[in-house]
Amino acid sequence: MNLSHFADFCEQAVKDGVLFYYKGEFSQNVIGAMTDTLKLRLDAVGVSGPARRKLFSTFVEMSQNIMHYADVAAADGSKTGALAVGKNGDSKYWIVAGNPVRIEHIERIKEKVEPLRSMTIDEIKAAYREQLRNDEHDKDTVSRGAGLGFLTVAREASEPLEYQIVFRSDRMEFAEFYLRASI
């Protein structure tokens, strides 16, 4: 990256309120290091109380989702993604995650996320409790977390989840899945 592009990147990050950003391989060690770094960063900007707890819960869930569900799209076979945390001018925080997914999983993702966008917080909490009691998830060969990940993120969010699927031109079997939660 040339220096003027990096300067533009840094300036845009400040304008967008970015407090933390990572793009690369996701592993348990990386997630641990990111969590430690995020704690220090949130301390530095004075985040405490319920917002801090919700940020961490969402951050960890989105990180785990990338680590477990990102399809291998990197040439070296690693599970990669990107994660950013920031603050809007109106004091709301946001977390955005992105990772490659196989084309055949897109409808499944939409089926899980789209209903959450119109549910009330009480409906999300009820769906979460119901999913905890549901033994059918043991038969799910794709999801390892009983389908609780998106429910957890939606439960912590103060606004409906936003998502986008961007098709890739370099590898037609993959798309990029982006998810945004406001806290």
Strand partners, 85: 20, 95
Task: Tell me how far apart the terminal alpha carbons of the chain are, to the nearest angstrom.
Answer: 32
Q: What is the pLDDT of residue 129?
A: 92
Q: What is the pLDDT of residue 133?
A: 85
Say yes or no to pLDDT of 85 above 90: yes
Cβ proximity of 161 and 138 under 8 Å: no
* Segment 133-164, tens digit of pLDDT: 876 655 555 665 557 899 999 999 999 999 99
| Integer Cα distance of 57 and 181 in angstroms | 11
Q: What is the pLDDT of residue 118?
A: 96
Q: What is the pTM of this model?
A: 0.89
| Integer Cα distance of 71 and 175 in angstroms | 10
Cβ proximity of 18 and 86 under 8 Å: yes
| Integer Cα distance of 166 and 94 in angstroms | 20
Provide the residue range defining the domain that includes 114.
3-182
* Segment 88-125, tens digit of pLDDT: 987 799 999 999 999 999 999 999 999 999 999 999 99
**CATH code for position 175:** 3.30.565.10
Tokens, residue 144: 């390892």
- Counting the structural domains of the chain, the total is 1
DSSP notation for the chain: --HHHHHHHHHHHHHTTEEEEEEEE--HHHHHHHHHHHHHHHHHHT--HHHHHHHHHHHHHHHHHHHHH----STT---EEEEEEEE-TTS-EEEEEEEEEEGGGHHHHHHHHGGGGG--HHHHHHHHHHHHH-GGGGG-SS-SSTT-HHHHHHHH-SS--EEEEEE-SS-TTEEEEEEEEE-
Residue 87 confidence class, pLDDT cut points 50, 70, 90: very high
